Chains A and B, each alone.
Chain A
Amino acid sequence: MNSAFLSCQCVNLTVGSVEILHNATLKFPLNGLTILRGENGTGKSCFLRTLLGLLPIQSGHILINGHTPTYMRQSIGYIPQKFSQAAPMIPVIDHVAAAINGSKWGFALPHIRRNKAKALLEMVGAYSLAQRPLGVISGGERQRVALAQALANTPSLLILDEPFAALDDKAHTSLLQLFAKLHKDDHINILITAHGALSLEACPIPTREILLEKGALHV
């Protein structure tokens, strides 16, 4: 996806009484790894939710690869900052299987979805967790399962909100290596929010940083 880009034109985004974006205009490529930075409370998560079409902007235009966020969301995989506490007793594989074409109506034959879910778990190095209930796995393992869920519908863009927040150094490096693998093998671009320094030598793919500050986006 070399032509992948994100374009914001005169975007105004306010959540409650907090102004997140004020007349923000910026166009930047999404090829490789894009890191969105900004201080706590600047609205990085809200901006990501806007890119998914979950939060409406007051005015302006946001285009991802030339399309609106609502149009694009079937092609975007998303991992929120906080994992849902719903259904911790259900096995990991079923959580991943449910995400495969999960927005389509009708019944799906379970064995087809479970086979694809196994392949996804294998892809992110979490196959051994397949039969364990979701509620008993660690934060790093949960991150990998969430990644398998986000990859369920073969997205062209992955959006991850603070993916390194609860990870130790080893898991941190391992996740960056996984990003590089996903980009090289499957041409998936990745947009993340992050606070601290990242060991980017583990992720040898094109990388850029975007700063969200005082209602504006800067490259």
Chain B
Amino acid sequence: MFEFTFMQHAFLGCFLVSLLAGTIGWFLLLRRQTFAAHALPHIGFSGAAASILLHIPSLLGMVLSSMLGGFFMGDGRTYAPSQRDTTTGLILATSLGIGAWCLHKANSASNQATTLLFGDVLSLDIQTLFALAGLTLFCLLCLAFMWRPLLFASLSPDLAQAQGVASSMINRLFLLIAALASSACAEIAGALLSFSLMIGPAAVALKLELSPLKGLLLSIIGSLCLSWGGLILSWYSDAPLAFWISLGGMGLYITACFLKRHAAKNST
């Protein structure tokens, strides 16, 4: 399978996206923003649908719309979790409605919508790979820059605020980065299941109660195993990559639960 250029591109794309998904996913779960992880790629889907109507690249439409969604979802006035979920839900519902209308107007609902929803990793061209590499590098650099206040505000929000960390600004910046990352993930696994690449491995890292850097590393490795493993399995089977990623994520989490229980039994 490695002699085909499209497969080489697919493996490279999965590698880039896994770096992002593992890192952003870990922070999203730590900050209890799983719903945002689910919503952002769907909001991106609406942007991609609009881009079909406007005849612009779908990745650009996806990035712009998910960043717009992330900007409003990260509003400082909606920092309380209950209010945050309400805002996220409303933005998600509105954007999906707009996306459906765009596809209807573009008269191309069936084929392109399927591609947007489920992804098409085998059609990654070199330009898209460069775009993904740029997105990945930019997001990781931003995360490194805001590492200390983001980690502090995620672990101890009250203390961080008392020490002068602008929690609402950090939240908004982080969601903008998460929006970029979810657009990149949607290129691989599709809007419908891109969050599974973010959530599954990160959930494993948190379940195992690892320190931040070890947790991030495990989350990235987990994402890489899921995306590369999924690619290999989908080559030998007829099932789509997103199917293997979502199933693999659940498998990893169940394994982590088993390991945790086993370790607890041994320690008593």
Chain B residues numbered 59-89 whose CB sits less than 8 Å from any CB in chain A: none
- Contact yes or no, A105 B152, CB < 8 A: no
Report the separation of the CA atoms of residues A107 and B164 in the bound assembly, to the nearest whole angstrom: 18
Which residue from B145, B147, B148, B155 sits with its C-beta under 8 Å from A87?
B155
Mask: chain A, 82-120; 1 = CB below 8 Å from B; 0 = not: 001011011101110011011111111010000000000
Mask: chain B, 211-250; 1 = CB below 8 Å from A; 0 = not: 1110100000000000000000000000000000000000
- Contact yes or no, B164 A98, CB < 8 A: no
Which residue from B145, B213, B215 sits with its C-beta under 8 Å from A105?
B145
Chain B residues with CB under 8 Å of A99's CB are: 152, 156, 159, 163
Closest to A101 in B: B148
* Interface status of A149 (Cβ within 8 A of chain B): yes
Residue count of chain A within 8 Å CB distance of chain B? 33
Which residue from B149, B206, B211 sits with its C-beta under 8 Å from A94?
B211
* Interface status of A56 (Cβ within 8 A of chain B): no
- Contact yes or no, A86 B155, CB < 8 A: yes
- Contact yes or no, A87 B154, CB < 8 A: yes
Closest to A51 in B: B162
Mask: chain A, 39-74; 1 = CB below 8 Å from B; 0 = not: 000000000000011100000000000000010011
* Interface status of B90 (Cβ within 8 A of chain A): no
* Interface status of A78 (Cβ within 8 A of chain B): yes
Least CB distance from A107 to B in Å reads: 5
* Interface status of B125 (Cβ within 8 A of chain A): no
Report the separation of the CA atoms of residues A91 and B211 in the bound assembly, to the nearest whole angstrom: 6
- Contact yes or no, B148 A89, CB < 8 A: no
Report the separation of the CA atoms of residues A106 and B151 in the bound assembly, to the nearest whole angstrom: 11
* Interface status of B160 (Cβ within 8 A of chain A): yes
Mask: chain B, 149-187; 1 = CB below 8 Å from A; 0 = not: 101101111111111110000000000000000000000
* Interface status of A139 (Cβ within 8 A of chain B): no
* Interface status of A133 (Cβ within 8 A of chain B): yes
- Contact yes or no, A102 B146, CB < 8 A: no
* Interface status of A150 (Cβ within 8 A of chain B): yes
Closest to A81 in B: B158
Chain B residues numbered 196-213 whose CB sits less than 8 Å from any CB in chain A: 206-207, 209, 211-213
From known contacts A52-B162, A73-B164, A94-B211, infer whether A106 and B147 are also in contact, taking CB-CB under 8 Å. yes
Closest to A88 in B: B209
- Contact yes or no, B146 A105, CB < 8 A: yes
- Contact yes or no, B159 A76, CB < 8 A: no
Chain A residues with CB under 8 Å of B7's CB are: none
Report the separation of the CA atoms of residues A105 and B170 in the bound assembly, to the nearest whole angstrom: 11
Which residue from B31, B159, B164, B207 sits with its C-beta under 8 Å from A89?
B207
Chain A residues with CB under 8 Å of B164's CB are: 53, 70, 73-74, 103
From known contacts A87-B154, A149-B159, infer whether A107 and B211 are also in contact, taking CB-CB under 8 Å. no
- Contact yes or no, A107 B144, CB < 8 A: yes
Chain A residues with CB under 8 Å of B148's CB are: 98, 101-108
Interface residues of A (CB under 8 A from B): 52-54, 70, 73-74, 76, 78, 80, 84, 86-87, 89-91, 93-95, 98-99, 101-108, 110, 133, 149-150, 153
